[in-house]
């Protein structure tokens, strides 16, 4: 199995949302021949203008591609894209590699892997990402990969066009388990960022000055550098949707229950995000957790 290259590899891309649009754009910029499908053709327009070819279904993408990527919303979407009657696996040819970059259930990643294997020489890889909209735009994503070593190695040039940290975690589903670890950390970090800003406001600090100090110390992290400034500007636009984060935390809690593993911190933050979603915040970015904490503390930031 040869490594992917613009000269020999036709790429399919399914899903052109906040993340997928930028990620696919990097592959086009590297010179790959890309066929794209999205539920809304208009969302794919920027890619079509740059030279991508439109397909009318996930199966149509697979029928003309050597490697098929997907970046969609929810496990039900992933299932439809891969296992539906007009899905990717129904039309994949021998030698095709299919790569789901959606954050979804590890068990579903394994199911897709098994279904691909049953078709013969079709290889399925799970490769969820971390880094948000900024990481997607700047091709600095962390990509957590699960799958067999040979197809994962063949995908390396494609992954390198989208990310800076590419690590194979193990077999099918291992990438998704690693992403659950990532989301558990983000959940705890996000509540810490928000509570620190509320504490700073109550204490009478300049929040910008406070952030300039703690961002360079042991508290420094991606959320503090990228999302805290958005909160101060009351910018709750999505780099990553609340409704998708709620889905991810739910998957992690379900997996933890199967392992008889208590995760009380994650369970608390999950409940707070559920409250945010119930109050119409599902399309906000994850930094909108501040809206819940502001109501609880009777303190407004920004």
What is the chain's Cα-based Rg?
A: 20
> Helices 264-276 and 174-202: crossing angle, nearest 10°?
70
Check if 179 is active-site: yes
Beta-ladder partners of 98: 68, 124
CA separation for the pair 136, 139 (Å, rounded): 5
Pairs from 215-224 (Cβ < 8 Å, separation ≥ 24) = 219/192, 221/189, 222/131, 222/132, 223/186, 223/189, 223/190, 223/193, 223/287, 224/189, 224/193
The active-site residue, picked from 179, 233, 247, 283, is: 179
CA separation for the pair 227, 211 (Å, rounded): 11
Alpha helices, DSSP H, located in the chain = 20-29, 45-49, 58-63, 75-83, 88-91, 106-118, 132-137, 149-154, 156-162, 174-202, 207-214, 222-226, 228-232, 242-258, 264-276, 289-297
- Residue 97 and residue 151 in contact, taking contact as beta carbons nearer than 8 Å: yes
What contacts 111, CB < 8 A, 6 or more positions away?
83
- Give the residue from 196, 218, 193, 192 showing the smallest Cα distance to 205: 196
CA separation for the pair 60, 67 (Å, rounded): 13
Q: Which residues of 178-203 are buried (b: 16+ CB within 10 A; e: fewer)?
A: bbbebbbebbebbbebbebbbebbee
- Give the residue from 54, 50, 118 showing the smallest Cα distance to 82: 118
Catalytic residues: 179
């Amino acid at each position: 199995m040869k490594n992917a290259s613009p000269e020999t590899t036709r790429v399919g891309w399914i899903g052109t949302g906040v993340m997928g649009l930028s990620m696919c754009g990097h592959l086009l910029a590297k010179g790959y021949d890309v066929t794209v499908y999205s539920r809304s053709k208009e969302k794919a327009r920027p890619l079509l203008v740059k030279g991508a070819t439109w397909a009318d279904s996930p199966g149509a993408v697979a029928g003309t591609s050597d490697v098929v990527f997907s970046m969609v919303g929810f496990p039900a979407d992933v299932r439809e894209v891969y296992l539906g009657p007009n899905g990717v696996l129904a039309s994949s040819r021998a030698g095709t590699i299919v790569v789901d970059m959606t954050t979804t259930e590890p068990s579903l990643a394994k199911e897709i892997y098994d279904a691909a294997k049953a078709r013969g020489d079709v290889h399925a890889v799970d490769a969820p990402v971390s880094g948000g909209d900024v990481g997607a735009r700047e091709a600095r994503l962390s990509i957590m990969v699960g799958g067999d070593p040979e197809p994962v190695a063949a995908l390396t040039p494609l992954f390198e066009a989208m990310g800076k940290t590419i690590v194979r975690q193990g077999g099918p589903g291992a990438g998704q388990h690693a992403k659950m670890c990532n989301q558990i950390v983000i959940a705890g970090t996000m509540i810490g960022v928000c509570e620190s800003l509320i504490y700073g406001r109550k204490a009478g600090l300049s929040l910008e000055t406070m952030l300039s100090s703690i961002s360079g110390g042991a508290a420094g992290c991606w959320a503090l550098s990228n999302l805290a400034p958005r909160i101060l500007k009351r910018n709750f636009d999505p780099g990553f949707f609340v409704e998708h984060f709620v889905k991810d935390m739910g998957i992690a809690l379900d997996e933890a229950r199967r392992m008889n593993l208590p995760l009380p911190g994650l369970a608390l933050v999950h409940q707070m995000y559920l409250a945010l979603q119930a109050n119409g915040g599902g399309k906000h970015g994850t930094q909108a957790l501040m809206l819940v904490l502001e109501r609880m503390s009777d303190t407004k930031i920004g």
